[in-house]
Copies of this chain bind each other. A is one copy, B any other.
Amino acid sequence: MLKLYQICGKNRDAGFSPYAWRVKLCLLHKGLDFEEEPIRFLEKEKIAHVQPQTIPVLDDGNKSIVDSFAIADYLETVYPEPSLFGGATARAQAPILNHWVNATMVMGMFPLLALDIFNCLDVPDQIYFRKTREIRLGMSLEEAMATRGNKLAGFQKSLAPLRAGLKEAPFLSGAAPAWLDYAVFGSFMWARTVSDFKFLAEDDPLYAWRERMLDLFGSAARAAPVAYG
Protein backbone atom coordinates (compact mmCIF):
# COMPACT_ATOMS: atom_id res chain seq x y z
CA MET A 1 0.00 0.00 0.00
CA LEU A 2 1.18 3.51 -0.84
CA LYS A 3 1.30 5.89 2.12
CA LEU A 4 1.22 9.69 1.84
CA TYR A 5 2.54 11.73 4.76
CA GLN A 6 1.00 15.17 4.72
CA ILE A 7 0.71 18.23 6.94
CA CYS A 8 -2.48 18.71 8.95
CA GLY A 9 -3.79 21.04 11.61
CA LYS A 10 -6.07 20.41 14.57
CA ASN A 11 -8.37 18.39 12.32
CA ARG A 12 -6.25 15.44 11.19
CA ASP A 13 -8.70 14.60 8.41
CA ALA A 14 -8.11 17.88 6.60
CA GLY A 15 -4.63 17.82 5.06
CA PHE A 16 -4.05 21.23 3.53
CA SER A 17 -0.60 21.34 1.95
CA PRO A 18 -0.59 22.53 -1.68
CA TYR A 19 2.16 20.01 -2.40
CA ALA A 20 0.35 17.07 -0.78
CA TRP A 21 -2.75 17.99 -2.78
CA ARG A 22 -0.69 17.73 -5.99
CA VAL A 23 0.43 14.25 -4.97
CA LYS A 24 -3.11 13.17 -4.09
CA LEU A 25 -4.38 14.22 -7.50
CA CYS A 26 -1.45 12.46 -9.20
CA LEU A 27 -2.27 9.26 -7.27
CA LEU A 28 -5.94 9.54 -8.27
CA HIS A 29 -4.88 10.14 -11.89
CA LYS A 30 -2.87 6.91 -11.79
CA GLY A 31 -5.77 5.06 -10.15
CA LEU A 32 -3.56 4.06 -7.23
CA ASP A 33 -4.89 3.28 -3.75
CA PHE A 34 -3.13 5.04 -0.94
CA GLU A 35 -3.49 5.76 2.75
CA GLU A 36 -2.87 9.15 4.30
CA GLU A 37 -0.75 9.79 7.36
CA PRO A 38 -1.48 13.25 8.76
CA ILE A 39 1.41 15.00 10.51
CA ARG A 40 1.33 18.18 12.54
CA PHE A 41 4.27 20.58 12.28
CA LEU A 42 5.75 19.33 15.57
CA GLU A 43 5.37 15.64 14.73
CA LYS A 44 8.36 15.34 12.42
CA GLU A 45 9.36 12.10 14.17
CA LYS A 46 6.79 10.41 11.94
CA ILE A 47 9.08 11.04 8.96
CA ALA A 48 12.32 10.22 10.79
CA HIS A 49 13.00 7.70 8.02
CA VAL A 50 13.64 10.32 5.32
CA GLN A 51 16.09 13.11 4.56
CA PRO A 52 15.41 15.96 4.14
CA GLN A 53 12.58 15.83 6.66
CA THR A 54 10.03 17.67 4.59
CA ILE A 55 6.52 16.66 3.65
CA PRO A 56 4.88 15.40 1.56
CA VAL A 57 6.59 12.04 1.61
CA LEU A 58 5.33 9.02 -0.29
CA ASP A 59 6.23 5.55 0.96
CA ASP A 60 5.93 2.80 -1.62
CA GLY A 61 6.87 -0.45 0.12
CA ASN A 62 10.37 0.13 1.47
CA LYS A 63 11.01 3.06 -0.86
CA SER A 64 10.40 6.64 0.34
CA ILE A 65 10.23 9.66 -1.95
CA VAL A 66 10.44 13.25 -0.70
CA ASP A 67 9.19 16.33 -2.64
CA SER A 68 5.97 16.50 -4.64
CA PHE A 69 7.71 16.82 -8.00
CA ALA A 70 10.06 13.92 -7.29
CA ILE A 71 6.98 11.90 -6.27
CA ALA A 72 5.20 12.74 -9.55
CA ASP A 73 8.31 11.76 -11.47
CA TYR A 74 8.60 8.51 -9.49
CA LEU A 75 4.95 7.63 -10.12
CA GLU A 76 5.35 8.27 -13.85
CA THR A 77 8.35 5.95 -14.01
CA VAL A 78 7.02 3.11 -11.86
CA TYR A 79 3.33 3.33 -12.82
CA PRO A 80 3.51 4.67 -16.38
CA GLU A 81 -0.18 4.42 -17.32
CA PRO A 82 -2.13 6.62 -17.60
CA SER A 83 0.62 9.14 -18.29
CA LEU A 84 0.85 12.03 -15.85
CA PHE A 85 3.10 14.28 -17.93
CA GLY A 86 1.92 13.40 -21.45
CA GLY A 87 5.17 12.56 -23.21
CA ALA A 88 8.88 13.24 -23.00
CA THR A 89 8.77 16.92 -24.02
CA ALA A 90 6.07 17.87 -21.52
CA ARG A 91 7.92 15.90 -18.84
CA ALA A 92 11.17 17.72 -19.61
CA GLN A 93 9.39 21.10 -19.45
CA ALA A 94 7.53 20.23 -16.24
CA PRO A 95 10.33 21.40 -13.87
CA ILE A 96 10.07 24.84 -15.50
CA LEU A 97 6.34 25.02 -14.87
CA ASN A 98 6.81 23.51 -11.40
CA HIS A 99 9.21 26.31 -10.50
CA TRP A 100 6.76 28.88 -11.82
CA VAL A 101 3.81 27.42 -9.88
CA ASN A 102 5.83 27.30 -6.66
CA ALA A 103 7.17 30.84 -7.00
CA THR A 104 4.03 32.49 -8.33
CA MET A 105 1.20 30.57 -6.70
CA VAL A 106 2.49 29.06 -3.46
CA MET A 107 4.65 32.08 -2.60
CA GLY A 108 2.02 34.49 -3.93
CA MET A 109 -0.84 33.00 -1.93
CA PHE A 110 1.03 32.37 1.31
CA PRO A 111 0.80 35.91 2.76
CA LEU A 112 -2.93 35.95 2.02
CA LEU A 113 -3.48 32.62 3.78
CA ALA A 114 -0.96 32.72 6.62
CA LEU A 115 -3.35 33.76 9.41
CA ASP A 116 -6.02 31.35 8.13
CA ILE A 117 -3.50 28.51 8.31
CA PHE A 118 -2.52 29.58 11.82
CA ASN A 119 -6.16 29.43 12.88
CA CYS A 120 -6.39 25.81 11.71
CA LEU A 121 -3.50 24.63 13.90
CA ASP A 122 -3.36 23.30 17.47
CA VAL A 123 -1.65 25.51 20.03
CA PRO A 124 1.90 24.06 19.96
CA ASP A 125 1.92 24.24 16.15
CA GLN A 126 0.54 27.79 16.30
CA ILE A 127 3.51 28.89 18.41
CA TYR A 128 5.95 27.23 15.99
CA PHE A 129 4.17 28.53 12.90
CA ARG A 130 3.94 32.14 14.08
CA LYS A 131 7.60 32.22 15.03
CA THR A 132 8.93 30.76 11.77
CA ARG A 133 6.44 32.30 9.31
CA GLU A 134 6.50 35.85 10.63
CA ILE A 135 10.24 35.90 9.89
CA ARG A 136 9.51 34.67 6.37
CA LEU A 137 6.71 37.21 5.87
CA GLY A 138 8.64 40.11 7.36
CA MET A 139 5.46 41.07 9.23
CA SER A 140 2.95 39.63 11.68
CA LEU A 141 0.34 37.15 10.49
CA GLU A 142 -2.28 39.77 11.34
CA GLU A 143 -0.57 42.43 9.23
CA ALA A 144 -0.37 40.00 6.31
CA MET A 145 -4.10 39.35 6.69
CA ALA A 146 -4.96 43.05 6.95
CA THR A 147 -3.33 43.83 3.61
CA ARG A 148 -4.48 40.82 1.65
CA GLY A 149 -7.24 42.68 -0.14
CA ASN A 150 -4.57 44.93 -1.67
CA LYS A 151 -2.53 41.96 -2.82
CA LEU A 152 -5.36 40.09 -4.51
CA ALA A 153 -5.33 41.98 -7.82
CA GLY A 154 -1.59 41.42 -8.23
CA PHE A 155 -1.98 37.73 -7.50
CA GLN A 156 -4.83 37.38 -9.98
CA LYS A 157 -2.77 39.20 -12.61
CA SER A 158 0.17 36.87 -12.05
CA LEU A 159 -2.01 33.98 -13.27
CA ALA A 160 -2.28 35.44 -16.78
CA PRO A 161 -0.12 32.69 -18.37
CA LEU A 162 -2.62 30.08 -17.17
CA ARG A 163 -5.54 31.92 -18.74
CA ALA A 164 -3.66 31.89 -22.06
CA GLY A 165 -3.66 28.10 -21.74
CA LEU A 166 -7.43 27.89 -21.26
CA LYS A 167 -8.35 29.79 -24.43
CA GLU A 168 -8.35 26.66 -26.59
CA ALA A 169 -8.92 23.80 -24.16
CA PRO A 170 -10.85 22.92 -20.97
CA PHE A 171 -7.71 21.95 -19.04
CA LEU A 172 -4.23 23.47 -18.82
CA SER A 173 -2.91 20.25 -20.35
CA GLY A 174 -5.49 20.13 -23.16
CA ALA A 175 -8.58 17.98 -23.52
CA ALA A 176 -7.87 16.10 -20.28
CA PRO A 177 -6.13 17.10 -17.05
CA ALA A 178 -2.53 16.13 -16.39
CA TRP A 179 0.29 16.99 -14.01
CA LEU A 180 0.25 20.76 -14.63
CA ASP A 181 -3.46 20.92 -13.80
CA TYR A 182 -2.80 19.10 -10.52
CA ALA A 183 0.16 21.30 -9.67
CA VAL A 184 -1.87 24.49 -10.12
CA PHE A 185 -5.00 23.05 -8.53
CA GLY A 186 -3.02 21.99 -5.45
CA SER A 187 -2.63 25.65 -4.49
CA PHE A 188 -6.35 26.29 -4.82
CA MET A 189 -7.07 23.23 -2.65
CA TRP A 190 -4.67 24.58 -0.05
CA ALA A 191 -6.71 27.80 0.00
CA ARG A 192 -10.04 25.96 0.01
CA THR A 193 -9.02 23.73 2.91
CA VAL A 194 -7.88 26.51 5.24
CA SER A 195 -9.97 29.55 4.22
CA ASP A 196 -13.12 30.91 2.64
CA PHE A 197 -11.18 33.76 1.01
CA LYS A 198 -12.13 34.20 -2.65
CA PHE A 199 -9.02 34.11 -4.84
CA LEU A 200 -10.87 34.05 -8.16
CA ALA A 201 -13.75 36.09 -9.56
CA GLU A 202 -16.58 34.02 -10.97
CA ASP A 203 -15.99 35.35 -14.50
CA ASP A 204 -12.33 34.32 -14.44
CA PRO A 205 -11.73 31.40 -16.87
CA LEU A 206 -9.73 29.83 -14.06
CA TYR A 207 -12.87 29.74 -11.92
CA ALA A 208 -14.68 27.45 -14.39
CA TRP A 209 -11.52 25.37 -14.78
CA ARG A 210 -11.31 24.99 -10.99
CA GLU A 211 -14.92 23.79 -10.95
CA ARG A 212 -13.99 21.14 -13.51
CA MET A 213 -11.06 20.10 -11.37
CA LEU A 214 -13.30 19.83 -8.30
CA ASP A 215 -15.52 17.44 -10.28
CA LEU A 216 -12.72 15.00 -11.17
CA PHE A 217 -12.41 11.52 -9.66
CA GLY A 218 -15.95 11.46 -8.29
CA SER A 219 -15.60 14.99 -6.88
CA ALA A 220 -12.83 13.80 -4.58
CA ALA A 221 -11.42 17.28 -3.98
CA ARG A 222 -14.84 18.91 -3.67
CA ALA A 223 -15.81 16.41 -0.98
CA ALA A 224 -12.61 16.80 1.04
CA PRO A 225 -13.08 18.13 4.59
CA VAL A 226 -11.98 21.68 5.37
CA ALA A 227 -9.68 22.50 8.26
CA TYR A 228 -11.28 25.74 9.40
CA GLY A 229 -14.48 26.70 11.18
Contact = CB atoms under 8 A, between A and B. Distances in A.
A183 to B, nearest CB: 11
Interface string A96-125: 111110010000000000000000000000
Interface in A160-195: 160-162, 164-165, 167-169, 171-175, 178, 180
Contact of A89 (B100, B160, B161, B178): B178
Given A86-B90, A89-B90, A92-B173, A99 B164 contact: yes
Contact of A92 (B85, B100, B103, B165): B165
A133 interface: no
State the main secondary structure of chain A at its contact with B: helix
Contacts of A169: 92
Interface in A69-94: 83, 85-93
Contacts of A168: 92, 95
Interface string A151-166: 0000000001110110
A161 B103 contact: yes
B93 A180 contact: yes
Interface residues of A, number: 32
Given A90-B87, A90-B89, A97 B95 contact: no
Contacts of A162: 96
Contacts of A100: 100, 161
Contact of A164 (B98, B161, B164, B178): B98
Contacts of A171: 92
A55 B171 CA distance: 30
A169 to B, nearest CB: 5
A169 B93 CA distance: 10
A165 B87 contact: no
- Give the most central of A83, A165, A167: most B CB within 10 Å: A165
A173 B85 CA distance: 13
25 contacts: A83-B89, A86-B88, A87-B90, A88-B174, A88-B175, A89-B90, A89-B174, A89-B178, A90-B90, A92-B165, A92-B168, A92-B169, A92-B171, A92-B172, A92-B175, A93-B93, A93-B97, A93-B172, A93-B174, A95-B165, A96-B162, A96-B172, A97-B161, A103-B160, A103-B161
